[in-house]
């Protein structure tokens, strides 16, 4: 049974910890760490197993019996911890996929792809896109439709003078490359980042604020000389945490099941 360490005890991290605790994953959660210690305490209180709450990641890195670290914190956490995790000889499951698009982390990913695991997240079809990448992907366009309030966290709209609360019909509010989207919409870029990594190409991101929607829809168009794909996914929120896509949570759990055997 593999031993796991968890960085990040928010929505996704808690769902993964719960899945391990309930025996849905053939592993043992040994350590948890969150920069907000209260989040780690709150999580451990809900678990039957009692993983050790750490003040940093150093003990995880030193533990030779620990084989996998799950990152479920932030893009910044990927920047900070990816290199030390790989240098410590461990595998890592990266949930904050946007964190792999920075030049330094992308290089580490490309050199250690077998040890850095990226789940499909809130979309489907990545296996086909990865296969097409063997001969080259010509174009990838991701169009994401969200209710305006789901975008309100970003300062981008204030800078552009866009008043989200006054949008009454589906409106294109952003279009640009995934690297630019990463800076403006860190909470919305994981799907685009996964597409970039699997396709090994650029991704054009289009965001539509749609007041007629209560959920999130992703439309993916892939062009190549092998095949033209159109993938559409409408995500339902996780019943235990409405801020998290149910499919994204299940994708994380399934990927960890595959890793742990």
* Domains, the chain, with CATH or none: 2-118 (3.40.50.720), 126-235 (3.30.360.10)
End-to-end CA distance of the chain: 9
Q: Which position among 117, 184, 218, 238 bears the catalytic label?
A: 218
Which pLDDT band holds residue 246 (cuts at 50, 70, 90)? confident
- Cβ atoms of residues 78 and 190 within 8 Å: no
Q: What pLDDT was estimated at residue 188?
A: 81
Active-site residue flag, 117: no
As separate numbers, helices (DSSP H) first and strands (DSSP E) second, the chain gives: 10, 13
Average pLDDT over residues 235-252: 83
Q: Nearest-5° angle of CA 100, CA 106, CA 112? A: 100
Q: Provide the CA 38 distance to its chain's centre, in angstroms.
A: 23
pLDDT digits (tens, 9 = 90+) for 185-230: 987 889 999 999 999 999 999 999 999 998 999 999 999 999 999 9
pLDDT digits (tens, 9 = 90+) for 174-187: 999 999 999 999 87
- Cβ atoms of residues 146 and 207 within 8 Å: yes
- Cβ atoms of residues 122 and 190 within 8 Å: yes
pTM, rounded to two decimals: 0.92
Angstrom distance (rounded) from CA 143 to CA 256: 28
Which residue bears the tokens 């999130």?
216
């Amino acid at each position: 049974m593999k031993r796991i360490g968890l960085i990040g005890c928010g929505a996704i991290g808690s769902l993964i910890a719960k899945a391990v605790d309930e025996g849905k994953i053939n592993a043992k959660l040994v350590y948890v760490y969150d920069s907000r210690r209260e989040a780690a305490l709150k999580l451990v209180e809900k678990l039957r197993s009692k993983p050790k709450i750490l003040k940093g990641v150093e003990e995880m890195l030193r533990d030779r019996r620990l084989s996998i670290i799950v990152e479920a914190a932030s893009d910044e956490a990927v920047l900070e911890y990816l290199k030390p995790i790989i240098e410590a000889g461990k595998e890592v499951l990266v949930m904050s996929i946007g964190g792999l698009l920075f030049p330094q982390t992308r290089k580490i990913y490309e050199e250690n792809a077998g040890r850095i695991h990226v789940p499909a997240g809130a979309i489907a079809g990545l296996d086909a896109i990865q296969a097409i990448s063997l001969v080259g992907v010509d174009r990838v366009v991701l169009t994401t439709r969200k209710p305006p309030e789901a975008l309100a966290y970003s300062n981008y709209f204030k800078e552009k003078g866009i008043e989200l609360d006054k949008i009454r019909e589906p409106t294109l509010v952003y279009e640009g490359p995934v690297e630019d989207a990463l800076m403006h919409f860190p909470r919305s870029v994981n799907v685009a980042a996964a597409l970039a990594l699997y396709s090994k190409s650029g991704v054009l991101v289009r965001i539509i604020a749609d007041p007629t929607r209560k959920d999130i829809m992703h439309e993916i168009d892939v062009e190549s000389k092998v095949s033209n794909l159109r993938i559409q996914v409408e995500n339902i929120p996780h019943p235990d945490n409405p801020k998290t896509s149910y499919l994204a949570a299940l994708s994380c759990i399934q990927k960890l099941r595959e890793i742990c055997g």
